[in-house]
Structure 1
Amino acid sequence: MANKRRPGRTRSTEVGEVRTLERGLMLLEALSEAETLSLSELARRTELSPSTAYRLLETLRKRGFADWDEDRGLWKVGLRAYQVGSAFLTRGGLVDAAMPEMEKLVDELNETVNLAVLDGNEAVYIAQVEGRQLIRMFTRIGARAPLYCTGVGKALLMGHSEAETRRMLGAGPFRPFTRKTLTTPEAFLDAIREAQRWGFALDNEEREEGVRCIAAPVRDNRGKVVASMSLSAPASRVPDERVQSLGERIRRAADAVSARLGWKVQGSG
């Protein structure tokens, strides 16, 4: 049976439309890898002419998939792209990969475990398995939290350069939530360096008095940090002498999720 085409459409038209879609996706991929890029750099990376790249970016901007930072003259991924990506994360990708490890941690440690992703300069909680203690931590799914005073926020930034981290956080000083909140970029960057050495991050009562959080990064098949997994508990149940062992356990769980997403964990062969 012959293929039917709409009147007025030719095969060359269809090929051209597919090519346009492919080029638009190339631009989105380039933006996702670098966070912000100038038009000339985007054109270079995608091997498109600046005029073609601009035309496609304007179409993506109108649909919400790309955003233009007029003050800095840079393009970045738009909110709509994040929303579409979140559908994968929550329906069949990241959450499904993480849930077995999260449940295993709760069974073993009996404390609440969270999963968060980066959205702009905030962490967004996308999954949680509650602990079974009488006093336990609870975070609403979809809730947002600052990066500078949370374990999940620190872990999400462990894969970023210091320049990127400074740009995302701003010049400070940051709002103090408790007397232990890190309120300057320098103090925060010191904490990130320490987290990178350990392989996990610690929120030492920096967002809420009496609550400690230990978190580790989750990576995709390219090694890019796409989420963070954390354990939250009253500080009395996470004393200094347990931080190292709990941190290593959270890191192993996060690495197991990363392996499910295609990342080859260092030292795995």
Structure 2
Amino acid sequence: MEKAGHETAPSKQATASQTLVRGLDIIEAVSKDGAHDIGAIAERTGMTYSTAHRLISVLMQRRYLKRVPGKGYRLGSKLLALGFQAYSQVELTAVARPFLERLAQKTSDTIHLACEEMGAVFYLDKIASRRPVEISSRIGGIKPLLSTGVGKALLLDGSIESWAALYDADAQRLGLTGPREQWIAMMRDYARKGHTYDLGEDEQSIRCVAAPIRDASHAIVAAISVSSTTDYMPPSRMHDLAPVVMEAARQISAELGG
């Protein structure tokens, strides 16, 4: 029998979900020509004044909303940044797609386009191999930066200190072996050459060659890779594919002004 005053796990989840939905309701209400005051937001969303006030305070702290003197509440800088990020990803995928298709036609292997999202690889596009090969990645999926070819390509502009911190944080969890200094030396070599490999760190039987994509500011914004199993990707072929992948990445970068 449950004790009075104690929420069960499902009820806590329901409360959290309701809070999230109400926060989104507020953002959507403000997005329609703004809102002069909390009372107007409460009326539009059907919330009590106190609930609207509490959620608006949090949204302002996180920069999802802002208050403009004389005008009231408007969408904040965080939403603007996320909007630009979402738009750039859509644009990037559209720009890159023809080059990915050519790379797939040339290699017959699995092709990936990915970017970094919250410290992880986020797959924006994938073209499946024409060989009898299955790779576990999927569009919209995430994987670790540390162990994937595209992840390492996204890290190529990092400092030795940032690489070391990432290795210390994630290597043991991912089951990577070998001293940190060895991994950093590998990353320095990749940075010098302009491409990276996945040598089975993510999936033991998978190998890939990856290269970074840069925007007009020369910053790395994404990466592409060619992936297959060890049967189709011996070291000699990986070596031969490196300039091919780098050239495709360079062409996509040029389309982005890089």
Q: TM-score, normalised by structure 2?
A: 0.66
The structural deviation recorded for 1:245 is 1.1
Q: 2:63 maps to which residue?
A: 62
**Counterpart in the other structure of 1:225:** 220
In percent, how many aligned pairs have the same letter?
29
Letter in 2 for 1:216: A
In structure 1, the residue matched to 2:193 is 198
Give the aligned partner of residue 84 of structure 2: 85
Counterpart contact for 1:103–1:129, Cα < 8 Å:
yes
Q: Which residue of 2 aligns with 1:48?
A: none
| Distance change (3 Å), C-alpha of 1:64 and 1:129 | farther
Residue 243 of structure 1: how far off its partner (Å) = 1.4
1:214 to partner: Cα distance: 1.0
The answer as to 2:203 corresponding to 1:208 is: yes
CA contact (8 A) 1:151 1:215 kept: yes
Once residues 108 and 64 of structure 1 are traced to their aligned partners in structure 2, the CA distance between those partners, rounded to angstroms, is 48
Q: Give 1:122's aligned residue.
A: 120
CA distance 1:118–1:146, change in 2 (3 Å): same
Hey, what's the Cα distance between the residues in 1 that align with 2:186 and 2:224? 17
Write the mapping of 1:3-82 to structure 2, written as runs, cut at 5 A: 59=60, 61-63=62-64
Q: Give the secondary structure class of the aligned counterpart of 1:214.
A: strand
Maintained 8 Å contact 1:216/1:251: yes
Structure 1 103/83 Cα, relative in aligned 2: closer, same or farther at 3 Å? Answer: same
- Counterpart pick for 2:141 among 140, 143, 151: 143
Aligned residue among 235, 240, 248 for 1:245: 240
Taking a change above 3 Å as real, the CA distance of residues 259 and 161 of structure 1, as seen in their structure-2 partners, is same
Residues in 2 aligned to 1:255 and 1:182: alpha-carbon distance in whole angstroms = 32
Aligned counterparts of 1:172 and 1:246: Cα–Cα separation in 2: 28
Question: Relative to structure 2, which stretch is displaced further, 185-194 or 80-89?
Answer: 80-89
Deviations 1:87-140 (A, max 9, x none): 21343x211121111000101110010011111221111111112112243521
Tell me if structure 2 keeps the 8 A contact 1:182–1:206: no
- In 1, are the aligned partners of 2:225 and 2:245 still within 8 Å (CA)? yes
The CA deviation at 1:167 is 3.9
Match in the other structure for 1:99: 97
Rg (Cα) greater in structure: 2
Aligned pair count reads 190
- What is the CA–CA distance in structure 2 between the aligned matches of 1:246 and 1:138, rounded to whole Å? 21
In structure 2, what residue type is equivalent to 1:229?
I
Compared CA separation, residues 150 and 114, structure 1 to 2 (3 A): same
Q: 3-state DSSP class of the match of 1:236? A: coil
In 1: Cα distance, 2:215 partner to 2:235 partner: 31
Mapped contact 2:63–2:78 kept (Cα < 8 A) = no
Q: Find the counterpart in structure 1 of residue 251 from structure 2.
A: 256
Distance 2:79 2:186 in 1: 32
Q: 1:156 aligns with which of 154, 160, 163?
A: 154
Q: Residues 201 and 214 of structure 1 are in contact (CA less than 8 Å); yes or no, is this contact kept in structure 2?
A: yes
Amino acid at match of 2:239: Q
| Deviation at residue 210 of structure 1 after TM alignment | 0.8
Q: How far, CA to CA, are the matches of 2:89 and 2:63 in structure 1?
A: 25
